[in-house]
Amino acid sequence: MRKLMSTIRTNSLFVKMFLVMVISIIAVTVLITFSTIRMSNNLFMETFSITNTKVLNQIKQQFESFSYSVAFTTINVQDNGMIKRLLTKENVSSLEASNSFYTIKEQMDRIFSNNPNDANMIVLGKNKQLFNMKYINWSVSADALFDHPITKKTNDHPDEILYQFVPEGEFTNGRRMIVATKALTESSTDNVYGYLYIPIREKDLREFYEGYTSEGNGVLVMNGDGQIISSNQEELIGQVDQELLAVAEETDENGLEYQDVHVFGKDYMLLTSALPALDMYLVNLVDKELVINNLVDRKEIVLISIAIVLLAVGIVFIISRRMTNSLRRLVKQISDMAKYDFNKPVDESGGYEAKKLAHAFNYMLKNCRNTSTIY
């Protein structure tokens, strides 16, 4: 560093001016470039978060509408005396079962008319009588459904409507499903006499939000156990992430617009909205790097900055060279005068400063000659 400073000090005025100007131009350009990129990123993220918050609210309304339909259906099934009689009757003959199926289907069609999408409805009695509205959607048997964990969990929480995720497998005919379940109970004794199931395929549930997603802007639905039960990024479905659930809960409870998180190996901006009726969280993950790169072409900005620096340096070089050339010629004339002809005046040419210096030098030289003549 000392050697460099010494070299600069011993160099000409042009080199010193040129270095100072170049360093200043580069420093200012770099600072402005990074400041512009940072301000653009912050402004975009703020705007993006406001827009996505509105989108989340729209998606939330669709989930709440579905939840309302499920609750409405549950109440109607629970209060339907005909369905109750058919689910509690023992030793049903084949003819009675056929007549019962027709009768209960009419009741179920009427009750279920307001449900959205391709959701199905199944009722199962403790007598293992099963009535399936859309058998083609889920060809499940009474025994398989009766012994499944979702039924056992429903039986353990008879007063709640549960939304349970069932992964793809033989039980669901190779499809992922979210099943709303409710135990049907006697109003007087609270004894469970049957179960109501409203299954919706995950791909159908995805239609609630898929139109709002894009590359780098994903939506996922998490249940209260931290399991991802639906997402436009299918590879995430079924995963359990307690850390992500905790961040979603914190964001919602504290009323934060968004939080920066590092999940699934990337940096994301996280927005969330709680779905308390479903015991779920609606989570929006925005891939900050991908979205910002699509917004701001950093390579282009850097190339433009380099072009500006090169142009500015070229202009500075020409101006500095012109300014210092006249001074350099003046210095050379004065140096040559000391060696050859002290009486010859220097040329008063070049820039303003060079002319003033040359004029002052010639004036001083003239006075020196006059003084010498007197003596």
Residues 280-336 have pLDDT tens digits of: 999 998 887 776 666 666 677 677 777 777 777 777 777 766 766 666 776 776 776
129 in Cβ contact with 150 (< 8 Å)? no
At 177 the pLDDT is 92
Gap between the Cα atoms of 177 and 175, Å rounded: 6
Lowest pLDDT segment from 108-122, 130-144, 153-167, 199-213:
108-122
Strands in 259-263's sheet, in edge-to-edge order, are 228-231, 217-223, 280-287, 266-275, 259-263
Burial class (CB in 10 A: 0-12, 13-18, 19+), 131: buried
Give the 3-state secondary structure of residue 342.
coil
239-281: pLDDT as tens digits? 999 999 999 999 988 888 888 888 888 888 889 999 998 999 9
CA dist 274 and 343 (Å) reads 95
Residues in the chain: 375
* Mean of per-residue pLDDT scores for the chain: 79
Distances (CA, A) of 45 to 38, 119, 287, 289: 11, 37, 11, 11
- Name the percent of the chain in helix, strand, coil, to the closest 5: 60, 20, 25
Q: Per-residue pLDDT averaged across 4-22, rounded? A: 59
Q: Which strand (E) or helix (H) includes residue 261? A: strand 259-263
Which of 10-14, 21-25, 307-311 bottoms out in mean pLDDT, i.e. has the lowest?
A: 10-14
Contact criterion met (CB below 8 Å) for 191 and 213: no
Q: What is the pLDDT of residue 373?
A: 57
Could you give the domains of the chain? 79-205 (3.30.450.20), 307-375 (no CATH)
Considering Cα of 97, then 99, then 100, then 101, what sign does the dihedral take?
positive
Q: How far apart are CA 67 and CA 189, in angstroms?
A: 27
Q: Is the pLDDT of residue 195 over 90?
A: yes
**What's the pTM?**
0.68
- The pLDDT tens digits for 95-105 are 665 666 666 66
pLDDT at 116 over 60: no
